[in-house]
Amino acid sequence: MLRLLIDTSAWLDLAQRRDGQNWIVPLRVFMHQDKLELLVPGLVIEEFERNRPRLEAAVTRSVVDRLRQLRKDLHEFAGDQHARIWLAETRQHIPLVNTMAPQNFREIAELLARGKTVRPTNAERARVVRRGLEKRAPFTSDKNSVADALLIEMYATQLKYAGPEDVYCFVTSNYRDFSAPDGDHRQPHPDLADLFSTSQSQFLYQVDGLHTALLDYFGDEFIQEYEELQFIVDAEEPRTLAEIAEAEAEFFDKVAYVRFVVRADRESGKYPEEIREEKFQEMLASRADVEAKYGREELWKPIGPGRDEAWRYGYISGKLATLRWVLGSEWDFLDT
Residues 6+ away with beta carbon under 8 Å from 203: 169, 170, 172, 178, 186, 187, 188, 192, 195, 196, 209
Q: Which of 231, 236, 281, 287 is nearest to 259 (CA)?
A: 287
Q: Provide the pLDDT for residue 283.
A: 63
Amino acid type, 297: E
What values do phi and psi take at 166, rounded to 5?
-85, 145
User: What gap in Å lies between CA 203 and CA 214, rounded to an integer?
Assistant: 13
- In 3-state terms the chain splits into helix, strand, coil percentages (rounded to 5) of 65, 10, 25
Residue 63 to residues 48, 58, 294, 322, Cα–Cα distance (Å) = 21, 9, 38, 26
**Of 111, 195, 204, which is closest to residue 160 (Cα–Cα)?**
195
pLDDT tens digits in sequence order for the chain, 336 residues long: 999 999 999 999 999 888 888 899 999 999 999 999 999 999 999 999 999 998 888 877 766 666 666 656 555 655 554 445 444 555 555 555 555 568 899 999 999 999 999 999 999 999 999 999 999 999 987 778 899 999 999 999 999 999 999 999 999 999 999 999 878 899 999 999 999 999 999 999 999 999 999 999 999 999 988 887 765 554 455 666 677 778 888 888 877 777 776 555 544 555 555 555 555 556 666 777 777 777 766 666 655 555 566 666 777 788 888 888 877 778 777 776
Cα angle vertex 255, ends 252, 258, to 5°?
145
Q: At what angle do helices 122-134 and 146-159 cross, to 10 degrees?
A: 120
Distance CA 204, CA 211 (A): 9
Q: Where are the domains of the chain?
A: 2-235, 241-326
